[in-house]
Structure 1
């Protein structure tokens, strides 16, 4: 039996990006808005749309500037003592400024692509943030596809995003491996027929993916 080539999909936020706590902490330092208050405001705005946190902006239901204004309204109402003057409407620019990709994960993606294994980015992301996160990651020259929630109109953990990613690249679900830091997303991928590795840190995730790839190679070298 000859197995088809695997397709490895990388999440952006929390995998290719710096850790989410690092991003929240840096934003808090820059703006003076405590992370817990910002996250509370994000959840409150999402509730207006009866959606999970960040879904309105990750599905492009609301544009970035409108979303930030709504965050400011919630914070001003619930925490009137918080100074909002340093929080800019260009949230993505301020959020990503000065940050670099997780270099170990980035190098692993480059290694896979160089070895002939297709790699992609499967991300819940925001239209207005693309000019910041894609240059930061610097993988446009090697990725086969970028499946971005704000462009395809569906976000993880909705199973349809996994079906869409596989179908438009002409691969079967069991060809796909997802690396994602969110357990719910990994579970949804597995339920869709994918393999999934939950990212805890770069060393662990890279090791787990190597193990999955090694098992596939072992199967292909033992015909049945």
Structure 2
């Protein structure tokens, strides 16, 4: 008797993993780079800008971006509060109108990472977008990378929760139809990586597209279903 693979008896070749990628800092250039470029563009010192964002967030009981990620304020109101703090605390007179338009001006998508995501889908993985994103920035996100690249999209403004809160990870896993340990977050922020791990997920701390792709590929290889042999 010989052993050979029977297609009917073989396990599915689809990956059991759900790969959830962040947007800002992963599918875009690093956030620190964008901060520097934006600071120069609007003529506001980088330290003052970051501190104003932190102070406005703190005043609303959250962090720098939590104010508009849920959102607690619309973009225009948030920009007005930033201008007030910049003038009152730092003596900086600034015009931050149309903040999002100027934040995304000339900001390219990370094409290398988008290509890797397509390769993961080709291997049968579920690929989703999991982002802390203000509603007014959604059109910029779609311009950079449209919805067709993803099996599902979970954004903070739409679900009322944001990374690293446990609820957004619970929701994303349910939407993917995967157990927490079958979900992988790819994110550039350590606090979000830690939040995913605390929620029972796997996680990759993103530095660049090739580094993250190698780590994801290793996870997919380890999770790949094993074809069963049939004795004939």
Aligned residues: 217
Segments of structure 1 that go 5 or more residues without pairing to the other structure are: none
Which whole-Å CA distance do the structure 2 matches of 1:45 and 1:163 have between them? 29
Which whole-Å CA distance do the structure 2 matches of 1:184 and 1:216 have between them? 25
Residue matched to 2:141: 133
Calculate the aligned-residue CA RMSD, in Å.
Answer: 1.7
Residue matched to 2:226: 221
Deviation, 1:124, is 0.6
Residue matched to 1:101: 109
Segment drifting more, 8-17 vs 110-119: 110-119
Which whole-Å CA distance do the structure 2 matches of 1:61 and 1:49 have between them? 8
Segments of structure 2 that go 5 or more residues without pairing to the other structure are: 1-9
The answer to whether 1:24 aligns with 2:24 is no
Report matched runs for 1:1-224 at 5 Å: 5-80=16-91, 82-85=92-95, 87=96, 89-138=97-146, 140-217=147-224, 220-221=225-226
Under a length normalisation based on structure 1, what TM-score does the superposition of the two structures give?
0.91
Structure ranking higher on relative contact order (CA contacts 8 Å, 6+ apart)? 2
Partner of 1:13, secondary structure, is coil
Which whole-Å CA distance do the structure 2 matches of 1:180 and 1:9 have between them? 9
Contact 2:17/2:125 (<8 A) preserved: yes
Partner of 2:129, secondary structure, is strand
Which whole-Å CA distance do the structure 2 matches of 1:16 and 1:103 have between them? 8
> Greater share of helix residues, 1 or 2?
1
Deviation, 1:2, is 5.5
